[in-house]
């Protein structure tokens, strides 16, 4: 009763000091805004404005050089261009193959190195080390491996009985795809291994012990404990791998230049802008790629949220 | 019996891991080895000897590998400094202050993660032209910093939030201004987060390829990856593999060394659950 009364009183007649406190709060708000201002300006100028400009450019005739003028949705006609649809299908194929191969190998590596043993830190570092090398550098490194006559890769392939002569590692679309997937696996497996290992180590070891005493075999433990509890880490890996592969550029641009039908969506954007000199069309493709990625990421986040 | 089984398992683990380790190291070791070994490395003197001719040719390539290295260092330095400063002030503001627009700013900054920057490079290219930052290392570095901000802000906000509020309050009571509290008391507590943000920003900007490829038109302004790409794709299909491999070594060594030194900060970035790959 008294509590209600005092609350009523507070609402009608604020006690002294509130004004001082609100002045203080206003000053703190001012200070906070001041701290955040540089970031807000940079994000506004170099992210929000270009994002709006992208939409505007996509409905304008916008050559690389010279004046631009509105042209409605004409730029979006580029979507039916067979070179672009080729690139999109190739990107999807590449994304699926890469994600499957990478997930399996990274998961295997994570299982291999999750337990603490002597020397394990060294192995983890070695598996991760390629991820410290930049993607462009890695592509240039593998270019020498694939193309150079001095490369030991052909001898290795012969020794393994894969071929009798020499392999043209980047010569056909499928060869190039397989070679790039191999390179990407080398570059990223350790990175995803680390994500999955962090997830594996977060699982309570008592769960495994309890399952073992209950007589569960390895496969049952994997299916009903490890995989379900690893879901957040698996989801993070899938989001990163799918987004990264859909936006693939460096590896194909450097290794094949997009020839042999190995152009990706981002190579198509680059080609539209700087070879065909049509920035409007490039912006239109960008808008579509962005929309697709937002939908995919949104769907994945939605599924993640629901399962939590 | 059980003993031999675990022994067998141990042997299985170490042999599998060793084979895999050799596979993972092979491309790097081979590149390093063939950059200093063979006909090209010895200037044709000795097909089976060792020499630095590849590196010497590389140093004379284009505007000189030295100037590309300087460009890369400049871009990386600006990116790291801008990212760290903006993320620290922004993280402090969002963790400890209430101000209008705070949530919008946080969400918009995180939204950068959802918009992979390759899709807005074209409008950025035009926009940088308008503000005279096209073909400029500063413009390139600012764009790279923007795309490091979601991770940086997230990391720094968490770092500030994990510091006990009493630490700041006691500094304020002792007569510090918020800036004084930040500089004298709080900064020490967030240094691990700061190093993590700097490490990610460095690796990303040092290795960036597509943004400098598009933004930089003047050959003397190229960063190392773009210059090496020109070395690989120019010259009518005659590729100087020796020089290319020594270039890859020069580009990779700083990253490998810094990564090995700061490994634990890298892993910190993972466990905080926000990584842009």
Q: What is the pLDDT of residues B20-72, one digit of tens each?
A: 999 999 999 999 998 998 888 888 777 888 888 889 888 888 778 889 999 99
d(CA A111, CA A118): 16
Position A276 scores a pLDDT of: 93
Residue A189 in this model has a pLDDT that exceeds 50: yes
| Banded pLDDT at A308 (limits 50, 70, 90) | low
Position B274 scores a pLDDT of: 43
Indicate yes or no: pTM above 0.90. no
Structural domain range at position B43: 2-53
Position B6 scores a pLDDT of: 77
For chain B, the average pLDDT equals 88
Q: How far is B4 from chain A (nearest CA, A)?
A: 17
d(CA B276, CA B273): 10
d(CA B56, CA B51): 10
- Residue B58 inside a domain? The answer is no
For chain A, the average pLDDT equals 87
User: Are B231 and B69 contacting, i.e. CB atoms less than 8 angstroms apart?
Assistant: no
Q: Which region, left, alpha or beta, applies to residue A172 given φ > 0 means left and ψ of -120 to 50 means alpha?
A: beta
Chain B residue at shortest CA distance from A266: B118
Q: Which helix (H) or strand (E) element contains residue A61?
A: strand A60-61
Q: How far is A10 from chain B (nearest CA, A)?
A: 23
Three-state DSSP class for B37? strand
Query: Hey, are the CB atoms on A137 and B34 less than 8 Å from each other?
Result: no
d(CA A119, CA B119): 43
Do both B114 and B67 map to the same domain?
Answer: yes
Q: Which residue has the higher pLDDT, B79 or B39?
A: B79
Chain B residue at shortest CA distance from A249: B210
Residue A10 in this model has a pLDDT that exceeds 60: no
CATH code for the domain of B80: 1.10.3720.10
User: Are A287 and A58 contacting, i.e. CB atoms less than 8 angstroms apart?
Assistant: yes
Residue A22 in this model has a pLDDT that exceeds 70: yes
Q: Which two tokens stand for residue B231?
A: 């070395």
Helices A279-307, A231-246: crossing angle, 10 deg rounding: 170
| Banded pLDDT at A277 (limits 50, 70, 90) | very high
Q: Chain B partners of A308 at a C-beta cutoff of 8 Å?
A: none
Query: Hey, are the CB atoms on B100 and A132 less than 8 Å from each other?
Result: no
Q: How far is A252 from chain B (nearest CA, A)?
A: 12
Q: Chain B partners of A25 at a C-beta cutoff of 8 Å?
A: 98
Query: Hey, are the CB atoms on B89 and A43 less than 8 Å from each other?
Result: no
Query: Hey, are the CB atoms on A132 and B86 less than 8 Å from each other?
Result: no
- Give the residue-averaged pLDDT of B230-258: 87
Do both B27 and B152 map to the same domain?
Answer: no
User: What percentage of chain B reaches a pLDDT higher than 70?
Assistant: 94
Nearest CB neighbour to A249, from listed B30, B210, B247: B210
Position A15 scores a pLDDT of: 52
Query: Hey, are the CB atoms on A140 and B228 less than 8 Å from each other?
Result: yes
User: What percentage of chain B reaches a pLDDT higher than 90?
Assistant: 55
| Banded pLDDT at A166 (limits 50, 70, 90) | confident
Chain B residue at shortest CA distance from A297: B114
Query: Based on the number of CB atoms within 10 Å of its own CB, is B74 exposed (0-12), middle (13-18) or buried (19 or more)?
Result: middle
Do both B162 and B136 map to the same domain?
Answer: yes
Kindly report, residue by residue over B189-221, the tens digit of the pLDDT: 899 999 999 999 999 999 999 999 999 999 899
- Give the residue-averaged pLDDT of B109-115: 87
Residue B132 in this model has a pLDDT that exceeds 80: yes
Q: Which residue has the higher pLDDT, B241 or A13?
A: B241
Residue-by-residue DSSP string for B153-191: HHHHHHHHHTS-HHHHHHHHHTT--HHHHIIIIIHHHHH
Cα dihedral sign, A228-A243-B228-B66: negative
Position A24 scores a pLDDT of: 81
Nearest CB neighbour to B209, from listed A45, A125, A136: A136
Query: Based on the number of CB atoms within 10 Å of its own CB, is B100 exposed (0-12), middle (13-18) or buried (19 or more)?
Result: exposed
Do both B40 and B80 map to the same domain?
Answer: no
Residue A16 in this model has a pLDDT that exceeds 80: no
Lowest mean pLDDT among A39-53, B108-122, B127-141: B108-122
Nearest CB neighbour to B267, from listed A117, A145, A194: A194
| Banded pLDDT at A163 (limits 50, 70, 90) | confident
Taking the domains of chain A in order of start, what are their residue ranges?
16-58, 75-307
Q: How far is B1 from chain A (nearest CA, A)?
A: 19
Give me the interface pTM, i.e. the ipTM: 0.89
- HSE (CB half, 13 Å, CA atoms) of A104? 6
Helices (H), A202-247: 205-213, 218-221, 227-229, 231-246
Do both B165 and B217 map to the same domain?
Answer: yes
CATH class of A75-307: mainly alpha
Q: Chain B partners of A247 at a C-beta cutoff of 8 Å?
A: 116, 118-119
- Residue B13 inside a domain? The answer is yes
- Residue B276 inside a domain? The answer is no
Query: Hey, are the CB atoms on A136 and B31 less than 8 Å from each other?
Result: no
Torsion of CA B29, B35, B38, B39, to 10 degrees: 160
d(CA A87, CA B178): 53
Most B CBs within 10 Å, among A43, A284, A290, to test the B interface: A43
Q: How far is A15 from chain B (nearest CA, A)?
A: 23
Query: Hey, are the CB atoms on A36 and B245 less than 8 Å from each other?
Result: no
C-alpha distances out from residue A280 to A55, A65, A255, A266, B107, Å: 9, 12, 28, 15, 29
Position B2 scores a pLDDT of: 55
Do both B75 and B49 map to the same domain?
Answer: no
Position A162 scores a pLDDT of: 74
Residue A21 in this model has a pLDDT that exceeds 80: no
């Amino acid at each position: 009763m008294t509590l209600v009364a005092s609350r009523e009183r507070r609402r009608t007649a604020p006690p002294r000091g509130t004004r001082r406190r609100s002045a203080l709060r206003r000053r703190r708000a001012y200070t906070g805004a001041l701290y955040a201002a540089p970031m807000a300006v940079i994000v506004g100028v170099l992210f929000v404005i270009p994002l709006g400009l992208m939409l505007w450019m996509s409905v304008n005739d916008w050559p690389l050089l010279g004046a631009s003028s509105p042209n409605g949705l004409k730029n979006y006609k580029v979507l039916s261009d067979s070179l672009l649809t080729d690139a999109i299908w190739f990107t999807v194929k590449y994304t699926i193959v890469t994600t499957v191969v990478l997930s399996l190998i990274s998961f295997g590596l994570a299982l291999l190195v999750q337990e603490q043993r002597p020397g394990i830190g060294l192995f983890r570092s070695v598996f991760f080390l390629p991820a410290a090398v930049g993607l462009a550098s890695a592509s240039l490194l593998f270019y020498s491996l694939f193309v150079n006559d001095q490369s030991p890769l052909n001898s290795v392939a012969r020794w393994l009985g894969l071929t009798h002569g020499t392999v043209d590692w980047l010569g056909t679309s499928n060869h190039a795809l397989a070679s790039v997937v191999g390179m990407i696996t080398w570059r990223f497996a350790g990175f995803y291994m680390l994500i999955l290992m962090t997830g594996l180590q977060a699982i309570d070891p008592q769960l495994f012990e309890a399952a073992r005493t209950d007589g569960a075999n390895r496969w049952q433990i994997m299916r009903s404990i490890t995989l379900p509890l690893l879901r957040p880490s698996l989801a993070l890996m899938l989001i990163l791998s799918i987004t990264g592969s859909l936006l693939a550029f460096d590896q194909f641009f450097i290794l094949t230049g997009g020839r042999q039908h190995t152009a990706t969506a981002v190579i198509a954007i680059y080609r539209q802008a700087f070879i065909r000199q049509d920035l409007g069309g490039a912006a239109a493709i960008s808008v579509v790629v962005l929309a697709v990625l937002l939908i995919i990421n949104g769907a994945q986040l939605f599924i993640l949220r629901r399962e939590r | 019996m059980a003993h031999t089984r675990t022994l067998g398992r141990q042997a299985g683990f170490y042999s599998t891991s060793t084979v895999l380790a050799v596979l993972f190291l092979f491309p790097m070791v081979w590149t390093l080895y063939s950059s200093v070994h063979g006909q090209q490395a010895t200037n044709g003197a000795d097909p089976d000897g060792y020499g630095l001719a590849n590196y010497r040719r590389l140093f004379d390539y284009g505007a000189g590998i030295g100037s590309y290295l300087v460009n890369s260092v400049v871009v990386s330095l600006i990116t790291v400094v801008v990212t760290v400063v903006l993320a620290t002030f922004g993280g402090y503001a969002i963790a400890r202050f209430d101000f209008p627009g705070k949530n919008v700013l946080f969400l918009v900054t995180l939204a950068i993660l959802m918009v992979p920057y390759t899709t807005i490079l074209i409008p950025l290219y035009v926009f940088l032209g308008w503000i005279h930052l096209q073909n400029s290392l500063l413009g390139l570095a600012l764009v790279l910093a923007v795309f490091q901000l979601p991770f940086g802000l997230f990391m720094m906000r968490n770092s500030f939030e994990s510091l006990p509020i009493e630490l700041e309050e006691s500094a304020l009571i002792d007569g510090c201004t918020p800036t004084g509290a930040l500089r004298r008391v709080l900064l020490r507590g967030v240094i691990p987060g700061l190093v993590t943000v700097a490490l990610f920003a460095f690796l990303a900007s040092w290795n960036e390829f597509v943004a400098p490829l598009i933004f930089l038109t003047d050959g003397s302004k190229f960063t190392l990856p773009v210059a090496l790409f020109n070395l690989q794709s120019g010259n009518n299909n005659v590729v100087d593999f020796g020089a290319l491999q020594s270039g890859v070594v020069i580009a990779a060594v700083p990253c490998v060394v810094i990564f090995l030194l700061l490994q634990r900060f890298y892993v910190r970035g993972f466990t905080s659950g926000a990584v842009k790959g």
